[in-house]
Copies of this chain bind each other. A is one copy, B any other.
Amino acid sequence: MEHLHQSFTIKYEYNVFFSSGLFAPTNSLLNDFLASAPAQDNRKIFFVVDAGVAEAQPQLIEHIKAYFKLQNPVQLIDDILIVPGGEGVKNDTKYFEQVLEAVNQHGIDRHSYIAAIGGGSVLDMVGYAATVAHRGIKHIRIPTTVLSQNDSGIGVKNGINYFNKKNFLGTFAPPVAVFNDETFLNTLSDRDWRSGISEAIKVALIKDREFFEWLEYSATDLVQRDLPVMNHLIWRCAKLHLEHIAGADPFESGSSRPLDFGHWSAHKLEYLTNFEVRHGEAVAMGIALDTVYSNLSGRLSSAESQRVTDLLQQLGFEITHPLLQVDGEDSPVLAGLQEFREHLGGQLTIMLLNAIGEGEEVHEIDTVLLKQAGKVLHDLQFWVQHK
């Protein structure tokens, strides 16, 4: 049959910059980046800031305004939008709408910028709004948490939750730049400081044994909030994530998502606890579950499995949760498996471990072993909590 064939390629490129005090008057990094784009009339920049960050750094808004008074390759929209941090900002579409309203009201066009400062949820929501308004306004990510600086904030995914499903709406669309500013990390609570480490453990477990060993070696420093050590963790973890995205299937046309090791149960747990368990904490539990499952199903040695749970516990993570226990066929955690498959599409594909640093994808999960794994973790956790 007759047909016309269409074919083209699109090149995507961006930098993840590391800096300290991005809005300090003497820091020209952001200014240089904005000035380097081809000159266009009417270029504007609109900031959306995580309320948690604005509260922890009360002078941030002032500093942004002062920065753009000194250096102004683009026009700052003075009306900076503050939105709540955390999953709530993805659950209620009103925040997404607020970004769209600003785009409309301020005439923000495709050559202008929307910059999001905050944790992963704020970046996800703002990125989604930016990539659908006018079919895509340039977005800049300024992640402020360990989790977003080493993982979610540096990648290509944007999204909000809908129908109570995580990232039901979203896009694959890279930012034009990411700025990781270490000064934000100092204001994090211990809980948020710790949370993001689980993504580093995850990527080390499936890709980089040496990095895992470095994490074991650095655990005490991380607990003691050593900033240079954390910066090294973020750099290395971000690098592994970026390489993975570029190397395989950036916009995930397949069914596999190897970087989601430990995530299928984590996503479900976040929902079940109404996001009281944070993403990084849920991922730590999900990693523990899939690690022990890897051991019980004959893939991973008991010694290595224990190194993983030891590291998690040494860092202060809880390694399981009552809602991750399989009590029967209708245990909610089992529904998480099905939802994970549905979101990715195609065949169920779960990453497990053959060794530390070596993942393997499987397409079936044995409920009996999963139940056992939950029990093993429950006992381990009980023992640590009561020792």
Q: Using an 8 Å CB-CB cutoff, how does the interface string of A133-172 with B read, 1 for contact, 0 for none?
A: 1111100000000000000001001010011010111111
A319–B9 alpha-carbon span in the complex (Å): 39
Residues of chain B with a CB closer than 8 A to A13's CB:
5-7
Checking B6, B9, B40, B100 against A15 with a beta-carbon cut-off of 8 angstroms, the contacting residue is: B6
23 A-B contact pairs sorted by A residue (CB < 8 Å):
A2-B18, A3-B18, A5-B16, A6-B174, A6-B245, A8-B245, A10-B250, A40-B345, A41-B346, A41-B347, A100-B168, A101-B163, A110-B346, A111-B255, A112-B345, A131-B171, A132-B169, A132-B171, A135-B159, A135-B252, A136-B171, A136-B251, A171-B171
Interchain CA distance A238-B6 in the complex, whole Å: 11
Chain B hits for A104, CB < 8 A? 162-163, 165, 168
| A343 vs B347: C-alpha distance when bound (angstroms) | 40
Q: How far is the CA of A109 from the CA of B347 in the complex (A)?
A: 10
Which residues of B sit under 8 angstroms from A245, Cβ to Cβ? 6, 8
Compute how far the CA of A322 lies from the CA of B345 in the bound complex, rounded to whole angstroms.
52
With contacts A135-B171, A159-B135, A169-B132 taken as known, whether A242 is within 8 angstroms of B4 at the C-beta atoms is yes
Contacts of A41 in B (CB 8 A): 346-347
Query: Is A384 interfacial (CB-CB < 8 Å)?
Result: no
CB distance from A256 to the nearest CB of B (A): 12
- Contact across chains for B15 and A12 when beta carbons are under 8 A apart: no
Check B10 against A255 for contact (C-beta < 8 Å): no
The A342-357 residues at the B interface (CB cut-off 8 A) are: 342-347
A12 touches B8 (CB 8 A): yes
Q: How far is the CA of A175 from the CA of B93 in the complex (A)?
A: 27
B-chain residues with CB within 8 Å of residue A9 when the two chains form the complex: 9-12
CA distance A239 to B170 in the complex (A): 31
Interface centre among A100, A239, A345 (most CB of B within 10 A): A345
Given contacts A3-B15, A15-B5, A112-B345, contact A135 B107 (CB under 8 A): no
**A-B pairs, 5 with minimum CB distance:** A109-B345, A110-B345, A40-B346, A111-B345, A8-B246
A interface residues, how many (CB within 8 angstroms): 70
12 further A-B contacts with Cβ under 8 Å, apart from A6-B174, A6-B245, A6-B246, are A1-B18, A2-B18, A4-B18, A6-B14, A6-B16, A8-B12, A9-B11, A104-B162, A104-B163, A132-B169, A132-B170, A135-B167
Once the chains bind, are A238 and B4 in contact (CB under 8 Å)?
yes
Is A17 an interface position by the 8 A CB rule? yes
Question: Do A169 and B6 touch across chains, with their CB atoms under 8 A apart?
Answer: no
Cα A170 to Cα B111 in complex, Å, equals 16
Question: Taking the complex as formed, is A302 at the interface, i.e. its CB lies under 8 A from any CB of chain B?
Answer: no
Q: Is B1 in contact with A29, judged by CB distance below 8 angstroms?
A: yes
- Residues of B near A346 (CB, < 8 A) are 40-43, 109-111
Q: Would you call A7 and B345 a contact (CB within 8 A)?
A: no
| CB nearest neighbor in B for A128 | B132
Contact of A134 among B3, B107, B343 (CB under 8 A): B343
